[in-house]
Amino acid sequence: MENIAMSEAVYDATVDVAIIGAGPSGAVAAALLRKRGRSVLVLERQHFPRFSIGESLLPQSMAYLEEAGMLQAVVEAGFQFKNGAHFVRRGESSAYDFRDKHSEGWGTTYQVERAAFDQILIGCAAKAGADVRFGHTVRAMKTGDTPELDVADEAGNAYRVHARFVLDASGFGRVLPRLLNLEAPTRMPVRSALFTHVLDRIPAGATDRDKIVIGVHPERSDVWFWMIPLARGRTSVGCVAQSAFLDVPEGERDATLRELIRSEPTIGALIGDAPFCMPARHIGGYAANVERLHGPGYALLGNAGEFLDPVFSSGVTIALRSAHLAVQVLESHLKGDTVDWTSGYDKPLRRGIDTFRAFVERWYTGELQDIIFHKEQSDSIRRMISAVLAGYAWDETNPFVAQPARRLDALHQVCAATAAK
């Protein structure tokens, strides 16, 4: 898909909603707002297509793509089909099929190359009538009932955007948290990821390409690997650990990642010496948080507000859920109704984030790993766990969503007692 062109001249703009960032949350929010007849301007600092991680979607995200009118474009793009997750640890194996789950809704999705996926989404938003400007950086914001953005293009041409509301969908760029000093401490330890794409050359039938593989380091349960089969014979592979474990000079990253891949028996056997498609990349300190997800004249979507950890691929699903919830509240706001962003957006979004958080924290302490690899798993409980892993972290008919920490802790005690017999 070609880049979306903007007009030759850059002018001040007055719109209903200005969106900072053209990633998944920004694109879906823009499309949903256009379906409601709102004027939308999307400001993106980078140029698309551009590389991004977060390649393994969760089935829950499909509902939001469908709501935004993007599903057909995604389905027809030829991405790798996904129906579950396969966990491996020191010879143990446990696979979850997301079609067999507690919650109603999609049980399948895709594993995507984000450069293509993100461009498809923002292309759909532009086709729906959103004004999308690439290479434009938001430099300042005036908050309030009539927010204003100071923007500059790559040539240094400055202009001002007047909006009735601003959505920050800038992801790891975290534009408004930086400009407005919104950052808050995160409860997650500082971790890093070292990753690349490979030409996998995996023989047909050697692995289930319809599932992400999550492997645990043979000696350290807090270090894990991902293997995400993509379309056209490529696979995304990476390692996540506390930052000091992956703190190597740039020139040693390829060798370090290769050695780590070989250390996990299942992934090592499948990937082995497969050639890297690009030098190993490093990203660190990605966990982030803010005190509030909204303020006078603005709201934060997706990673611009809070990012937990990549282990359960929750990032894109949280981003799309945030766009869905924010647009519902924003539409009432734009109609002149009195709205409560805390009860209508912040708290509902954080309920699902807190569900994922409980799972992520217990993955790293080992309790969730013990549950996942337990030999005698109840079918009903397994379906409840599968539903959360599939992204249904807001379905409070699931006991592991309604009380995630208490239920997981109790279940781990049962698993530990059974294993000790």
How many other C-beta atoms lie within 10 A of the C-beta of residue 198? 25
Tens digit of pLDDT at every position of the chain (421 positions): 344 444 445 578 999 999 999 999 999 999 999 999 999 999 999 999 999 999 999 999 999 999 999 999 999 999 999 999 999 999 999 999 999 999 999 999 999 999 999 999 999 999 999 999 999 999 999 999 999 999 999 999 999 999 999 999 999 889 999 999 998 777 777 889 999 999 998 988 899 999 999 999 999 999 999 999 999 999 999 999 998 999 999 999 999 999 999 999 999 999 989 999 999 999 986 666 788 899 999 999 998 887 888 899 999 999 999 999 999 999 999 999 999 999 999 999 999 999 999 999 999 999 999 999 999 889 999 999 999 999 999 999 999 999 999 999 999 999 998 877 6
3-state secondary structure of 136: strand
Radius of gyration of the chain, Cα coordinates, nearest whole angstrom: 21
Answer yes or no: are the C-beta atoms of 68 and 58 closer than 8 Å: no
Answer yes or no: are the C-beta atoms of 105 and 116 closer than 8 Å: no
CA dist 181 and 282 (Å) reads 26
CA dist 7 and 9 (Å) reads 6
3-state helix, strand, coil in the chain (%, to 5): 40, 25, 40
Domain chopping of the chain, boundaries: 12-55+71-79+113-185+287-353, 191-284, 365-420
Q: Identify the CATH assignment for 191-284 out of 3.30.9.100, 1.10.357.10, 3.40.50.410, 3.40.50.1440.
A: 3.30.9.100
| 191-284 matches 12-55+71-79+113-185+287-353 in CATH topology | no
- Backbone φ, ψ for residue 315 (5° rounding): -60, -50
3-state secondary structure of 229: strand
CA dist 411 and 332 (Å) reads 41
Instruction: Please tell me the CATH superfamily of domain 12-55+71-79+113-185+287-353, with its number.
Output: FAD/NAD(P)-binding domain (3.50.50.60)
